[in-house]
Amino acid sequence: MFRPALTRHHGASQALHAVRRGYASHGAASKARLNVPTDYAKTPLLHHSSKSVLGMQGLSDEARNGTTSRINLYQAINAAMAHALRTDQRVLVFGEDVAFGGVFRASMGLQTEFGDDRVFNTPLSEQGLVGFAIGAALEGMRPIAEVQFADYVFPAYDQIVNEAAKIRYRYGANADVYNAGGLVLRMPAGGVGHGALYHTQSPESLFTHVPGMRVIVPRSPSQAKGLLLASVQSPDPVIFLEPKILYRAAVEYVPSEAYTLPLDKAEVLKEGNDVTIISYGTPLYTCQNALTAAEKDFGCSIELIDLRAIYPWDRPAIVKSVNKTGRCIIVHESMINAGVGAEIAATVQDKCFLRLEAPVTRVAGLTTHTGLAYERHIIPDVAKVYDAIKRTLDY
Amino acid sequence: MASRRVVQALRGALATPPLRLSAARSRVCFQCQQRWSSVSQRQGSDRVNFPGAVNSSFTTDLNFQRATEADAMPTYRYLDQEGQVIDKARGEPDVTDDELLGYYKTMVTVSILDLIMFDAQRQGKVSFYMVSQGEEGIGVGSSSALRNDDPLFLQYREHGVFFQRGTTLDDFIAQCFSTKDDTGRGRSMPVHYGSKKHHVHTISSCLATQLPQASGAAYARKIENARNPNKDEHRVVACYFGEGAASEGDFHAALNIAATRSCPVVFICRNNGYAISTSTLEQYKGDGIASRGVGYGVDTIRVDGNDILAVREVTKAARALALSDGGRPVLIEAMSYRVSHHSTSDDSFAYRAKVEVEDWKRRDNPITRLRKYMENKGIWDEEKEKQLRSDARKQVLDAYRKAEKEKWPPLANMLEDVYAEVTEEQKEQLVMVKEMVEKYPEEYDLDIYEGGLDALKSTVEAQR
């Protein structure tokens, strides 16, 4: 039904009427009960009131007693960068097309407010702009560098893996003066339904194999602001992967004042006793939808954990949860092979072996590239997570 | 050719202190991205105003541009091979006799250190070594013209830079032996030294990665310079690399971003003819590295790297140029010959004739050239030479013997400094290491580490 090749056997005009095509981001199958689009206006994973977000754990007193505004993810990133630029003259913001506001609008208005010397475009060279950011950090700046899409971080892989990640270790006693603290590499990541091979990737596991970098994925505007501000202050370099499908979709109340969230702590989003689901970024919404259906259908109680810090990750929190529930499912968008789920699954079987009542299950991207027309089958959906819950409970 | 024009301009700048800069270069600091606006083609104009190449004239001649050998950028020099000043009209260089003696002493000390450490590797005392023979003049000459707090990024064959900055033999040799006194805490291969005291960034093995970092570091300095009204404290960044490293993508990235962001950085290329076994004929087809600088809009000069006074003079002018207009990058290509093997893991006679090497050693060499100059001036003689060589040898051997006795740093160092804080996962791994060495004491020798097993135990205890 979705194969464009079919249209060639019919007349062009006939085909226009005959084929009902939709990218993964457009709607769902007509009879779908599980695979329906996330209603971001109602999901419990976002703060739909001021009161709710001001009650968030770890807020500064200033933020807790301040005002809020209802903004989306790119606006929260923008607010965090504006705050960092305003309060610390060492902060710089740069990358490809950052000056006019960025292709996802995250740096909008920053150059006007803070000037061309602190917010600027770089030539189109990822290895160049990341190397430049490392050098600026070594000489005392706190650069927030943008890689336009995470898919294009690979030219800078050498600078990240061999340089940024190893700087503190290599500099040894010199690292108290020369280090890459304050270096933040922001990059939009993840599927949007029609990004195909080079506008969809989630390369986090390629960085979790590299000691020295912190890898962070926020799931919401309030989280993005707190985690990005913490990243700028961090003594360690940070890879900050922003789920780009949430830039406009995820809207919630966010504290107007500055605050930071811890860079090494998972967050329990929902407590439960029968299964632990661990995820991060966009698939958390998928998991939330799946567990709502599963709890209703199977009468079970599911614990949902947002990993938040992908590396170094909060091993004690995960182990504690699985030791309680005895069952564990890990969900992420990127490929299953040697993905983040593999590391978590191995750790869980090592540390929770006597408590496990079912195999640790991974629901993750298929071992292929995200071909444009096939994305909805490649990336985990609600039905796949729902089925994994069922299989895990039935085991 | 564009290269010729720039060389002419730079020559002028070098010849007449204070530095003369060509007009039409007065870009305001931080207006790096401003450019003439492009205006669509006016009726009857003989020039094109495409946004990508403003002010290009039209032509009806279908000519492909090709650089010929005649266009090769000239090589600036001050002394000839006999240590005589070539252009008598230029007068004596701006160097005191004491400074000259200091440079000479540093070059000779480095060459003796190299010989002793090379042999130390051959005897298995250190795991690896790289000498800088034939290139002592580039390191010492260039760094003598920089401020002592100008941050430096090196490749690995610039020992002269360290010693000109004030690094002691003890410090350098401690690094090679990975002793507890190594600032790098015994983590890097020998020669990968760094010093915050002397503003030298720690060397990494990856070629050319330091180049875009130098551009970014220079941008940081540019911002600090702009905030500091005292011009005497303004700083540049200098970045060294070989001609082989210039083939890496990072070279391209670094020069381009330094030019577009107007960074006060001096790129110093050591073109010594070889990248391990690969000769420059297989490395590039154009006119060396210098011709590329012009293409990036970077002021460029080529200098005789065996002429320490020319290297010094060129670097001094480049530093001033780099600080002009709020910041601009400069490229120096210093020509030399890699007299030594690439490293202790290389036998270079497998790919080049011994006679070629001997020829360079005998006929042209930065140390003998400066020695001849000093002898011509009457400030050096055979007696002083003998004394210097014997003193330097003794100093190197003293430092060597001291380092040889030292232990490696405490074992727990292997898991520290990956992050600012040791992670929960790393703490668990350190406990595993401790348990292994306690369980299998015959399998592991912990006495080679400072503090041995006791230090490991107390670190584990402290992390609880």
Shortest distance between the Cα of A345 and any Cα of chain B, in A, equals 15
Q: How far apart are CA A223 and CA A72, in angstroms?
A: 11
Shortest distance between the Cα of B220 and any Cα of chain A, in A, equals 5
Instruction: Say if the Cβ atoms of A174 and B202 lie within 8 Å.
Output: yes
Name the nearest CA neighbour of A86 among A110, A121, A56, A64. Answer: A110
Cα A65 to Cα A54, A69, A258, A346: the distances in Å are 8, 13, 11, 43
Is B228 part of the contact surface with chain A (CB cutoff 8 Å)?
no
Residue B189 makes CB contacts below 8 A (sequence gap 6+) with: B127, B128, B205
Cα four-point dihedral sign B26, B31, B32, B38: negative
The residues facing A241 across adjacent strands are A187
B134 secondary structure, DSSP code = T
Question: Catalytic pick from A47, A83, A96, A126?
Answer: A126
Instruction: Say if the Cβ atoms of A116 and B33 lie within 8 Å.
Output: yes
pLDDT in tens, B326-357: 999 999 999 998 888 888 888 888 888 888 88
Cα four-point dihedral sign A134, A215, A188, B204: positive
What is the complex's ipTM, to 2 decimals?
Answer: 0.93
Name the nearest CA neighbour of A355 among A382, A320, A380. Answer: A320
Q: Poorest-confidence range of A198-207, A312-321, B86-95, B306-315?
A: B86-95
Is pLDDT at B41 greater than 50 in this prediction? yes
What average pLDDT does this structure show over B294-315? 97
Q: How far apart are CA A103 and CA A202, in angstroms?
A: 18
**In which element (H, E) is residue A361 found?**
strand A361-365
Is A214 part of the contact surface with chain B (CB cutoff 8 Å)?
yes
Q: What is the pLDDT of residue B13?
A: 41
Contacts of A112 in chain B (CB under 8 A): none
Contacts of A158 in chain B (CB under 8 A): 206, 209, 250
Q: What is the pLDDT of residue A374?
A: 95
Q: Is B338 exposed, middle or buried (0-12, 13-18, 19+ CB in 10 A)?
A: buried
**Do residues B116 and B397 make contact, with C-beta atoms less than 8 angstroms apart?**
yes
Tokens of B34: 């401003």
**Do residues A144 and A186 make contact, with C-beta atoms less than 8 angstroms apart?**
yes
Q: What is the pLDDT of residue B323?
A: 98
**Do residues A318 and A344 make contact, with C-beta atoms less than 8 angstroms apart?**
yes
Q: How far apart are CA B333 and CA B301, in angstroms?
A: 6
- Say how many CB pairs under 8 Å bridge A and B: 176
Instruction: Say if the Cβ atoms of B253 and A125 lie within 8 Å.
Output: yes
Q: Which of residues 174-193 of B touch A (CB under 8 A)?
A: 182-185, 187-188, 192
**Do residues B264 and B172 make contact, with C-beta atoms less than 8 angstroms apart?**
no
**Do residues A330 and A194 make contact, with C-beta atoms less than 8 angstroms apart?**
no
pLDDT in tens, B103-135: 999 999 999 999 999 999 999 999 999 988 889
Residue in this structure with the two tokens 């154009």, named with its chain if needed: B286
**Do residues A201 and A151 make contact, with C-beta atoms less than 8 angstroms apart?**
yes
Q: What is the pLDDT of residue A17?
A: 58
Q: Which amino acid is at A120?
A: F
CB count within 10 Å of CB A239 equals 30
> Which of B417, B423, B426, B430 is most worth mutating to test chain A (most A CB atoms within 10 A of its CB)?
B417
Residue B123 makes CB contacts below 8 A (sequence gap 6+) with: none
Q: Poorest-confidence range of A257-271, B46-60, B242-256?
A: B46-60
Contacts of B417 in chain A (CB under 8 A): 168-169, 171-172, 175
Closest partner residue to A170 (CB to CB) among B204, B257, B424 is: B204
**Do residues B157 and B241 make contact, with C-beta atoms less than 8 angstroms apart?**
no
Q: Which amino acid is at A350?
A: D
Q: Which of residues 37-96 of B touch A (CB under 8 A)?
A: none
A126 is catalytic: yes
Shortest distance between the Cα of B403 and any Cα of chain A, in A, equals 18
Cα B19 to Cα A86, B187, B245, B322, B345: the distances in Å are 38, 44, 31, 11, 45
Is pLDDT at B9 greater than 80 in this prediction? no
> Which of A174, A208, A350 is most worth mutating to test chain B (most B CB atoms within 10 A of its CB)?
A174
Is A5 part of the contact surface with chain B (CB cutoff 8 Å)?
no
Closest partner residue to B185 (CB to CB) among A117, A158, A173 is: A173
Q: How far apart are CA A381 and CA B122, in angstroms?
A: 61
**Do residues B172 and B193 make contact, with C-beta atoms less than 8 angstroms apart?**
yes
Is A262 part of the contact surface with chain B (CB cutoff 8 Å)?
no
Tokens of B28: 């305001």
Question: Catalytic pick from A47, A83, A199, A332?
Answer: A199
What share of chain B in percent tops pLDDT 70?
91
A354 secondary structure, DSSP code = G
Cα A58 to Cα A77, A298, B211: the distances in Å are 18, 34, 40
pLDDT in tens, B164-222: 999 999 999 999 999 999 999 999 999 999 999 999 999 999 999 999 999 999 999 99
Q: What is the pLDDT of residue B45?
A: 81
Residue B281 makes CB contacts below 8 A (sequence gap 6+) with: none
Contacts of B194 in chain A (CB under 8 A): 170-171, 174, 178
Rg of chain B, C-alpha, whole Å = 25
Helical pair B210-227 and A126-138, crossing angle rounded to 10 deg: 50
**In which element (H, E) is residue A302 found?**
strand A302-306
Is B430 part of the contact surface with chain A (CB cutoff 8 Å)?
no
The residues facing B195 across adjacent strands are B200
**Do residues B143 and B160 make contact, with C-beta atoms less than 8 angstroms apart?**
yes
**What confidence category does residue B44 fall into, taking pLDDT thresholds of 50, 70 and 90?**
confident
Shortest distance between the Cα of B254 and any Cα of chain A, in A, equals 6
Q: What is the pLDDT of residue B300?
A: 98
**Do residues B456 and B409 make contact, with C-beta atoms less than 8 angstroms apart?**
no
Q: How far apart are CA A159 and CA A130, in angstroms?
A: 7
Q: How far apart are CA A190 and CA A243, in angstroms?
A: 5
**Do residues B306 and B271 make contact, with C-beta atoms less than 8 angstroms apart?**
no
Q: How far apart are CA B460 and CA B464, in angstroms?
A: 7
Instruction: Say if the Cβ atoms of A173 and B216 lie within 8 Å.
Output: no
Give residue B297's region: left, alpha or beta (phi > 0; psi -120 to 50). Answer: left
Instruction: Say if the Cβ atoms of B223 and A117 lie within 8 Å.
Output: yes
The overall average pLDDT reported for chain B is: 90
Is A24 part of the contact surface with chain B (CB cutoff 8 Å)?
no
Q: What is the SS3 string spanning A207-271?
A: HHCCCCCEEECCCCHHHHHHHHHHHHHCCCCEEEEEECCHHHHCEEEEECCCCCCCCCCCEEEEC
Instruction: Please identify every stretch of chain A with a pLDDT value under 70, giving residue numbers as ranges.
Output: 1-21, 25-27
How far, in whole angstroms, is CA B424 from its chain's centroid? 39
Instruction: Say if the Cβ atoms of A127 and B253 lie within 8 Å.
Output: yes
Strand stretches in A158-225, DSSP E: 184-189, 214-216
Is pLDDT at B443 greater than 90 in this prediction? yes
Contacts of A132 in chain B (CB under 8 A): 212-213, 215-216, 219, 253, 257, 261
pLDDT in tens, B379-398: 999 999 999 999 999 999 99
Q: How far apart are CA A326 and CA A324, in angstroms?
A: 6
Is B209 part of the contact surface with chain A (CB cutoff 8 Å)?
yes
A83 is catalytic: no
Contacts of B424 in chain A (CB under 8 A): 312, 315-316
Q: Is B427 exposed, middle or buried (0-12, 13-18, 19+ CB in 10 A)?
A: middle
Is pLDDT at B26 greater than 70 in this prediction? no
Closest partner residue to B214 (CB to CB) among A122, A135, A162 is: A135
Is B218 part of the contact surface with chain A (CB cutoff 8 Å)?
yes
User: Domains plus CATH for chain B?
Assistant: 69-405 (3.40.50.970), 411-462 (no CATH)
The DSSP-derived string for B49-86 is EETTEEEEEP-SS-------GGGPPPEE-SB-TTS-BS
User: Domains plus CATH for chain A?
Assistant: 50-255 (3.40.50.970), 265-394 (3.40.50.920)
Contacts of B185 in chain A (CB under 8 A): 172-173
Instruction: Say if the Cβ atoms of A173 and B183 lie within 8 Å.
Output: yes
Q: What is the pLDDT of residue B35?
A: 54
B445-B446-B451 Cα angle (round to 5): 160
CB count within 10 Å of CB B60 equals 4
